[in-house]
Amino acid sequence: MLAIKRQVLASTSRVLLRTNVLSGLVAGAARAYHNKVYKSSDEAIEGIKTGDTLLIGGFGLCGIPENLLKAIARRKDIQQITAVSNNAGTADYGLGTLLQSRQIKRMISSYVGENKEFSRQYLGGELEVELLPQGTIAERVRSGGAGIPAFYTLTGVGTQVETGGIPIKYSKDGEVVIASTPRETKVFNGRKYLMEEGITGDYALVKAWKGDALGNLVFKYAASNFNAPMATAGKITIAEVEEIVPVGELKPDEIHIPGIHVHRILKGETYEKRIEKLTLRRSAEEENELPESMKQRIHIIKRAAREFKDGMYVNLGIGMPVLASNYIAPEITVHLQSENGILGMGPFPTADKVDADLVNAGKESVTVLPGGTCFSSDVSFGMIRGNRLDMTILGGMQVSSRGDLSNWMVPRKMVKGMGGAMDLVAAPKSRVVVTMTHNAKDGSPKILKENTLPLTGVQCVDRIITDKCVFDVIPNKGLLLRELSYGETVDSIKASTGCDFEVASDIAETF
Q: Is 163 exposed, middle or buried (0-12, 13-18, 19+ CB in 10 A)?
A: middle
Confidence (pLDDT) at 293: 82
H-helix or E-strand spanning residue 13: helix 2-31
Confidence (pLDDT) at 347: 86
Confidence (pLDDT) at 9: 42
Q: What is the mean predicted confidence (pLDDT) over 24-43?
A: 72
* Distance (Å, whole) CA 314 – CA 432: 10
When mean pLDDT is compared across 105-114, 170-179, 319-328, the lowest value belongs to 319-328
433 vs 22, more confident: 433
Confidence (pLDDT) at 229: 98
Confidence (pLDDT) at 289: 74
Label residue 7 by pLDDT band (50, 70, 90).
Answer: very low
Q: Is the pLDDT of residue 384 over 80?
A: yes
* Distance (Å, whole) CA 473 – CA 141: 35
* Distance (Å, whole) CA 240 – CA 253: 21
Confidence (pLDDT) at 291: 83
CA distances from 171 to 128, 161, 174, 348, 489 (A): 10, 21, 5, 42, 48
Confidence (pLDDT) at 295: 87
Query: Tens digit of pLDDT for each residue in 397-407?
Result: 999 999 999 99
CA distances from 511 to 7, 303, 470, 472, 483 (A): 84, 6, 10, 16, 8
Average pLDDT in the chain? 92
Q: E strands of 339-430, at which residues? A: 342-345, 368-374, 391-395, 398-400, 405-406, 409-410, 414-415
**Which candidate in 339, 450, 483, 502 is catalytic?**
339
Alpha helices in 234-363 (DSSP H): 284-288, 292-304
Identify whether 339 is a catalytic site residue.
yes
Q: What is the mean predicted confidence (pLDDT) over 188-215?
A: 98
Label residue 13 by pLDDT band (50, 70, 90).
Answer: very low
Helix (DSSP H) and strand (DSSP E) numbers for the chain: 13, 28
Confidence (pLDDT) at 35: 84
* Distance (Å, whole) CA 386 – CA 402: 25
* Distance (Å, whole) CA 397 – CA 301: 16
Confidence (pLDDT) at 169: 97
* Distance (Å, whole) CA 94 – CA 100: 11
Label residue 411 by pLDDT band (50, 70, 90).
Answer: confident
Q: Ramachandran region of residue 8, left (φ > 0), alpha (ψ -120 to 50) or beta?
A: alpha
Label residue 114 by pLDDT band (50, 70, 90).
Answer: confident
Confidence (pLDDT) at 21: 39
Query: Cβ distance 404 to 364 under 8 Å?
Result: no
* Distance (Å, whole) CA 398 – CA 404: 8
